[in-house]
Amino acid sequence: MEDESTKNIDDILAGMYCSKNFKCAESGFEHLCKVRYIGHGRFLVCLEANPADCSFAMHVDDQYYCDCPLRGYLERKLKSKNRRGTRKKQNKPMHQ
């Protein structure tokens, strides 16, 4: 990861408690909780099989939402990276 991202992640980790003992960070972020990004800001629908096991799961109506600051940060970074990659592809001239 980039140096700035690593520092941001370290800052987030230092300021939180995780009921799952930071399994995502321990795995080098290979094993992230499954979420679906649903719009602007930091709204993530939790897609895990047992969301109630997580201290960051918020139950609203018939869905669970992820309120984990680390997962939210990682999802925003992934979305931002994907958007940049898409823009680069769109700017390439088409072959005729």
Q: Which two tokens stand for residue 39?
A: 């719009």
56 and 68 Cβ atoms separated by less than 8 Å? yes
Which sign, positive or negative, has the C-alpha torsion 27, 30, 31, 35? positive
Q: What is the pLDDT of residues 7-60, one digit of tens each?
A: 999 999 999 999 999 999 999 999 999 999 887 666 899 999 999 999 999 999
pTM of the model: 0.76
Which segment, 61-65, 76-80, 81-85, is predicted with the most confidence on average? 61-65
User: Which of the 8 DSSP states describes residue 2?
Assistant: -
Structure-derived torsion over alpha carbons of residues 53, 59, 62, 65, reported in degrees to the nearest 10: -90
44 and 72 Cβ atoms separated by less than 8 Å? yes
